[in-house]
């Protein structure tokens, strides 16, 4: 791995245990660790043969490091805003936020200021940034960067497909539905995905507009917000607490979760929305990876097959995880969705 990449990532570690800002979307690590890992893993199977061998060889790394941006959210000040966009903040009732908010970064900054955009989330603008880094990694044949940015891109693409990552009411806190975020994106797939979800989503396709694809994901997610909240609110009226909740041992102690009965009723009422949004994440991510490879000139990935993740990157990521663990323990903050 290039020394500059090691220094750039390693520099993040210097202040991790000294800073711990409260993020706006503090309750929400989209899809949970389970879901993010699953999206990255399944996206590998959408790739064409010229890419599949390389990604299959490194599938565990790409999957295992899918949650890394969530691990950083509370320690790196600029990280939190990359996971969401409160698109409804910018409009009055009845207005279409996707005509009010400019799609390009420069035009949005000119209209609302960069501070405002950072305060209410930048995920559709950050996805093309990471995409560009992945293109350059393919061009250089840099295995560390290819794997690092492939995993990172998967996280942000997954976040853009979560409806509650597109609204100020991201955890139902404005409608007395606190906790719906982790319920929708973590509890449901953890209970249902292995047994019921079909992730055969087809082959990745080339996308010539990464920014447009990011915005399309956000817009499709936002269209589902009313259903996500409204259906849960309706079911709340039918389920008493003793049927809605169960208590489970999660290592650190007994925690309260939505029951399997309530979860199934919610999924059924939504018509499989969680599975659809997860599958949309998978095919979109595979298409981003494929498009980055094409834009890089379709380098021969077979010549990278003998290269593994460098020891330097492994050490950096291990040190980052240890620093974040120390920061969490020193302030008593639990890992989101752990």
pLDDT in tens, 165-183: 999 999 999 999 999 999 9
Span 17-38, mean pLDDT?
A: 63
Q: What percent of the chain has pLDDT over 70?
A: 81
At 3 the pLDDT is 43
Structure tokens at 179: 């906790």
Give the model confidence (pLDDT) of 72-117 as tens digits.
987 899 999 999 999 999 999 999 999 999 999 999 999 999 999 9
Q: Above 70 in pLDDT, residue 159? A: yes
Q: Write down the residue that tokens 């800073």 correspond to.
A: 19
> Is residue 152 a contact partner of residue 320, using CB atoms and an 8 Å limit?
no
pTM summary value: 0.85
Q: What is the mean pLDDT of the chain?
A: 88
Structure tokens at 53: 């061998």
Q: Above 50 in pLDDT, residue 12? A: no
At 123 the pLDDT is 98
Phi, psi angles (nearest 5°) of residue 30: -55, 140
> Is residue 197 a contact partner of residue 40, using CB atoms and an 8 Å limit?
no
Span 55-62, mean pLDDT?
A: 96
């Amino acid at each position: 791995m290039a020394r500059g990449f090691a220094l750039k990532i390693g520099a993040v570690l210097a202040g991790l245990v000294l800073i711990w800002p409260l993020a706006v979307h503090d309750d929400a690590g989209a899809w949970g660790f389970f879901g993010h890992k699953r999206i990255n893993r399944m996206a590998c199977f959408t790739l064409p043969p010229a890419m599949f061998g390389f990604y299959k060889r490194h599938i565990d790394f790409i999957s295992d490091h899918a949650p890394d941006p969530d691990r950083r959210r509370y320690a790196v000040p600029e990280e939190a805003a990359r996971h969401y966009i409160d698109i409804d903040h910018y409009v009055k009732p009845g207005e279409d936020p996707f005509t009010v908010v400019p799609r390009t970064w420069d035009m949005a900054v000119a209209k609302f200021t960069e501070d405002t955009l950072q305060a209410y989330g930048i995920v559709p603008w950050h996805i093309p940034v990471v995409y560009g880094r992945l293109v350059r990694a393919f061009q250089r044949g840099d295995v560390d960067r290819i794997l690092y940015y492939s995993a990172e891109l998967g996280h942000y693409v997954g976040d853009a497909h979560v409806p509650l990552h597109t609204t100020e009411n991201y955890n139902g806190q404005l409608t007395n539905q606190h906790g719906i975020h982790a319920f929708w994106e973590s509890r449901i797939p953890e209970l249902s995905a292995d047994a019921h979800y079909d992730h055969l989503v087809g082959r990745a396709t080339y996308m010539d507009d990464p920014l447009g694809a990011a915005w399309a994901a956000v817009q499709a997610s936002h269209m589902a917000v009313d259903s996500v909240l409204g259906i849960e609110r309706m079911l709340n009226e039918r389920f008493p607490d003793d049927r809605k909740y169960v208590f489970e041992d999660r290592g650190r102690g007994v925690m309260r979760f939505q029951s399997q009965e309530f979860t199934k009723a919610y999924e059924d009422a939504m018509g499989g929305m969680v599975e659809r949004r997860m599958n949309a994440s998978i095919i979109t991510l595979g298409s981003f990876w494929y498009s980055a490879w094409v834009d890089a000139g379709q380098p021969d990935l077979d010549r990278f097959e003998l290269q593994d993740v460098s020891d330097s990157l492994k050490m950096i990521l291990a040190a980052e995880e240890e620093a974040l663990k120390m920061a969490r323990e020193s302030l008593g903050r639990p890992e989101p969705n752990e």
